Chains A and B, each alone.
Chain A
Amino acid sequence: MNMSPDATAPLLAVRDVGKRFAAVQALANVNLTFRAGEIHALLGENGAGKSTLMHVLAGLLRPDTGTILVDGCAVRFASARAAQQAGIGMVHQHFTLVDALSVAENLALSLTESRRFRFRAEVTAEQARALAERVGLELGSPQTPVAQLAVGACQRLEILKALAGGGRVLILDEPTAVLTPQEVRPLFMMLRQLRDQGRLVIFITHKLREVKAVADRVTVMRRGRVVGTYAANAVSESHLAEHMVGTIAAAPRGERPNRLAGAVLLQVAEVSAHDARGVAALQSVSFEVGAGEILGIAGVDGNGQRELFEVLVGLTRPHGGTISVGGRRITEFNPRAALAAGIGHIPPDRQREGLILSMTVQENFLLNRNLLDRFSHRRMLHARAARRFAADLAEQYALRFASLDAPVRSLSGGNQQRLVVARTLAEQPQVLVTVNPTRGLDFAAAAAVSDALQAVAGLGCAVVVISTDLDEVLDLSDRVRVLSRGRLSAPLQPPVDLEQLGLLMAGAA
């Protein structure tokens, strides 16, 4: 508090903020200014640093470097409560409500004046009503148990909670991710209302059309840095998409081996699928991949990427349509059937879905039904053969580790991904489905993974690269299609017209 409040200072600003998690620079020299009375969208891919930045603003993380200015005064938040007392409240993607308590009781948990030993229901309900009136949000009956509220109402309650301390800044982390399309409109109306009262609303998203629909200004982040801040009505969706997914280099891509696509190996016909909320996420998606071909599926995250992966690897049953491998139609949708049909995969998050971190390197080399069958006889594992297999693959893919008996947790990220790739390719799948296969890897590991994909395609595998990183998808693929709002574009042949790509990603097709 080294300066007095300045009437002309912006409501909230960050100066040179940096934050590092182990090897990852999550934020690097971030400078941003937020004004009172605006809706400011923060746009970026997963891992771009937007959530980290918001957690810094909301007092949940302390920055390594830099300062936060509220009304021009440098502040340092010791906790989320301290940030809230300074007027900054945050609504998380996952609600923090107590289901068994009523609306009023949930609000009481955030109201500082009710934090006394004695709890009186009438007083709490009265305070809740007063707060709702002050903020101008419809609350309904304060006595309703939260468990009975719809998702939209829960979110409204979360917003009230965030503003309970007389908040002037409201931060929302992907608020539309949990909502159905019908619930989004009232949310936006609410946000506009809060803005018109002079509040600052910051919301995190990776959906371009939401930016255009509700934001006044938008800041794009990529890899921990601010790409730029734009007036939302003066920037096109395709420009935002380009800024968000990659520094689009005009330089020509490196020469790739000239492979001719062979017979069609993977045929996806009019596949539709729902996401976890039951909303249509894939709408009649059709494509074919030939032997030896790498098809890139580009697009902004949240446009059906996860669902396409899940359908192809058998985690989700499609709502309609057919998938065939080598002319044989898949009738059973579970991961085992997909593996048996010859569909290998490299999952998007290796630590979560590709590896068992506390098992050993050798045990992780067996984490695949086909390989378990290959290295067992009458359900007994062939320990020696499995060990030789692991050692050979480790050498072939230049994996570095202390011992085959070391836990996989002790391997670097690049070596973990090499293990996943080596294991997947070892069973010579006919079709390979990968999601962001080189994300988060250092240069050498990324190059090794990329080489491996080219090599397996050279051997006649049909490869699908689903990626939200434009650089990655252009680097790896022979042809590129764009998945936007659950629909797949026609293929773009190289050299890809970047402007057209940007438009397709923005959903203009």
Chain B
Amino acid sequence: MTVTVARIAARILPSVLALAAALIVSATIIAVSGRNPIVAFGALFGGAFGSLDSLSEVGVKACPLLLAGLAIAVAFQAGVWNIGAEGQLLMGALGVAALGRHGEHLPAWLDSASDLAVGAALGAAWAGIAGQLKLRRNVNEVISTIMLNFVALGLISYLVQGPLMEAGGRYPQTDAILQELWMPRLTPYRVHFGLIIALLAAAAMHVLLYRTVPGYEMRAAGLNPAAARLAGIDVERRLLMALMLSGALAGLAGGIEVNAVTHRLYEHFSPGWGFTAIAVGLLGRLSPAGVVVAAIFFGALDAGSNAMQRVAGVSSVLVSVIQATVIFFLVALERRRWFVEPTRPSAT
């Protein structure tokens, strides 16, 4: 089993190195600004893991990042560069926010679950637009998914100021969803059942990618489309499947956030989860287990940043610096060239 241990170590090494480098860079920035990096990092850590309350906050922050990070992992493993998790997430949030204002004649938990399913489906459909454009018109999915983010943003901006605006008509936001639809939380803490869903989704993605035929085919199609095609794999179908699955996970991330945390949709609903998710996915080496760890790490950074500002006087924005630096180093260390289309085989 030493071989397996060595392989896992080799796989996570770039992430560890990137993290170390990011910590050194941010420590330098803290030191240059005249504060004590050790105090700051201590406050950051304490703010995240110091109490049950803060631990619960880590879970709340990690939940959307975990689901959206899984969305990135699935798409990227299949060689589809989905940069549109943000838009797909917003569409999922829109579905849950719109449907949750009125109850159906269903048990509340079933109503809530069906709303989430609709949110996931909306995310999948949003990603599916880019997928169809790629298959039919050979439109690069990097461009189309990015552009669809703006369309989703614009659509939500219109809806929350128009058709879906709250009944009182005071703020650009939807009405809150019915309280009986809210998913259970671990009172008195804020951490909610969505985190369980996200962890189950990670387990499901692990099984899909490494234990099933479609998952194998997606990975094969992503790593070497020419060889996959010759082996009888329907590469186009797998690309579309991965992209729509990715959209569904992102949609679920947005849907759960509405259902469990904000209870309503408004402009600037997402602080960029769909983009941070790319960092989470890469830091997690695109493996579901890695994404879980990366999402908790990023969630902890978010949750601890306020404590760092309060205790050490270091602006909470520094957390964004850490996150960004991680990605810079990861991409620099990565041997695989991101976003470069694989070349087609030449003639014999």
A348 with B348: in contact, given A403-B3, A405-B4 (CB under 8 Å)?
Answer: yes
A394 within 8 A of B: no
**B residues near A302, Cβ cutoff 8 Å:** 347
**A residues near B213, Cβ cutoff 8 Å:** 372-373, 376, 379-381
Whether the pair B212, A354 counts as a contact (CB closer than 8 A) is: no
Whether the pair B228, A356 counts as a contact (CB closer than 8 A) is: yes
CA distance A128 to B216 in the complex (A): 54
Whether the pair B231, A405 counts as a contact (CB closer than 8 A) is: no
Identify A315's interface contact among B216, B217, B220, B229, CB under 8 A: B229
Q: Which residue of B lies closest to A336 (CB)?
A: B232
Whether the pair A356, B230 counts as a contact (CB closer than 8 A) is: no
B226 within 8 A of A: yes
Number of interface residues of B (CB under 8 A): 25
CA distance A358 to B222 in the complex (A): 11
B224 within 8 A of A: yes
A402 with B232: in contact, given A352-B227, A359-B220, A372-B216 (CB under 8 Å)?
Answer: no
CA distance A355 to B231 in the complex (A): 9
Q: Which residue of B lies closest to A381 (CB)?
A: B211
**A residues near B234, Cβ cutoff 8 Å:** 336
Q: How far is the CB of A130 from chain B (nearest CB, A)?
A: 37
**B residues near A381, Cβ cutoff 8 Å:** 211-213, 216
Q: How far is the CB of B10 from chain A (nearest CB, A)?
A: 10
Whether the pair A352, B226 counts as a contact (CB closer than 8 A) is: yes
- By secondary structure, the B interface counts as helix
Whether the pair A372, B230 counts as a contact (CB closer than 8 A) is: no
B185 within 8 A of A: no
Whether the pair A402, B3 counts as a contact (CB closer than 8 A) is: yes
Q: Which residue of A lies closest to B221 (CB)?
A: A356
CA distance A402 to B10 in the complex (A): 15
B113 within 8 A of A: no
Number of interface residues of A (CB under 8 A): 49
A435 with B348: in contact, given A369-B233, A372-B216, A403-B3 (CB under 8 Å)?
Answer: yes
Identify A367's interface contact among B3, B4, B227, CB under 8 A: B227
Identify B223's interface contact among A306, A358, A435, CB under 8 A: A358
CA distance A353 to B7 in the complex (A): 25
**B residues near A359, Cβ cutoff 8 Å:** 219-220, 223
CA distance A385 to B233 in the complex (A): 21
**A residues near B211, Cβ cutoff 8 Å:** 380-381, 383
Q: How far is the CB of A267 from chain B (nearest CB, A)?
A: 22
A357 within 8 A of B: yes
Q: How far is the CB of A355 from chain B (nearest CB, A)?
A: 6
New contact pairs (11) apart from A305-B348, A335-B231, CB-CB < 8 Å: A301-B348, A345-B230, A347-B230, A352-B226, A356-B220, A356-B223, A363-B216, A367-B227, A369-B231, A376-B212, A436-B348
Which residues from chain B sit less than 8 Å from chain A, CB to CB?
3-4, 7, 211-214, 216-217, 219-220, 223-224, 226-234, 345, 347-348
Q: When A and B form their complex, which 5 residue pairs have the shortest distance between CB atoms, in order from nearest?
A: A369-B232, A336-B232, A306-B348, A306-B347, A356-B224
Which residues from chain A sit less than 8 Å from chain B, CB to CB?
46, 177, 275-276, 301-302, 305-306, 309, 313, 315, 334-336, 338-340, 345, 347-349, 352-359, 363, 366-370, 372-373, 376, 379-381, 383, 402-403, 405-406, 435-436, 468
What are some 16 contacts across the A-B interface (CB < 8 A)? Answer: A305-B348, A335-B232, A338-B232, A339-B231, A349-B348, A363-B216, A367-B220, A367-B227, A367-B228, A379-B213, A380-B211, A381-B211, A381-B216, A383-B211, A406-B7, A436-B348
